[in-house]
Structure 1
Amino acid sequence: MEQHPATPSSADQPITVLVHAAPRFWPFVLTGAVLGALIGAIIGFLGEPSMDYTVGSAIGFFAMFCAGLGIGLGALAFVIIDRVTSRKTTQKLAVPLAGDTTSEQQG
């Protein structure tokens, strides 16, 4: 099966490619998790004390709950930013180098 249908038959011909800057997924998710956990820990620490639960368990509960929400919001932010940046796709002309043999080895 052909992986690159736009690849010309001759290795000396330029190739037209579509280029866009794509964000990375994991920094968005990890940032959402860390910020959510911090917000949850603050909520657990500043909340009304309970006779049933210790302050540590309340902090842990709210930190984990808010970290999960932060992961979801980080992933949503990634999807939105990825859609916005994918609309700004440009066409570029890629010219193979004289000593480049990778296209011959793939075919």
Structure 2
Amino acid sequence: MEVMRVPQNHRVALATFYLVRNARHWWESVQRRYQDLSAITWQLFRAAFDSQYYPLAYQNLKMEEFVQLEQGAMTVLEYEKKFNELSKYCILLVEDRIRNASCLP
């Protein structure tokens, strides 16, 4: 959404346009809870979507996997791929690591 510079007030419509099958049914059930659909902000949509498709238990599991991640026998490229894959579950930890690393001489 940032790359395409989609305005906040159009993001829900764009994202939900691409939902199909079960995701489309889920979205329709969410919409039925609101009399005024314009009340569904991007933040609200993301929270509902993440809650549905990335339950907290799953996010916690992935966060723990990220915290325990070590290169071990992986190549640097394999490690980087795994790091990036898991980092989306711990944005605050990643930002903290980047901030601390940028302070190093």
TM over 0.5: no
Q: Which has the higher contact order (CA 8 A, sep 6+)?
A: 1
* TM-score using structure 1 length: 0.23
Q: Which has the larger radius of gyration?
A: 1
Q: Which has the higher strand share?
A: 1
Q: Which has the higher helix share?
A: 2
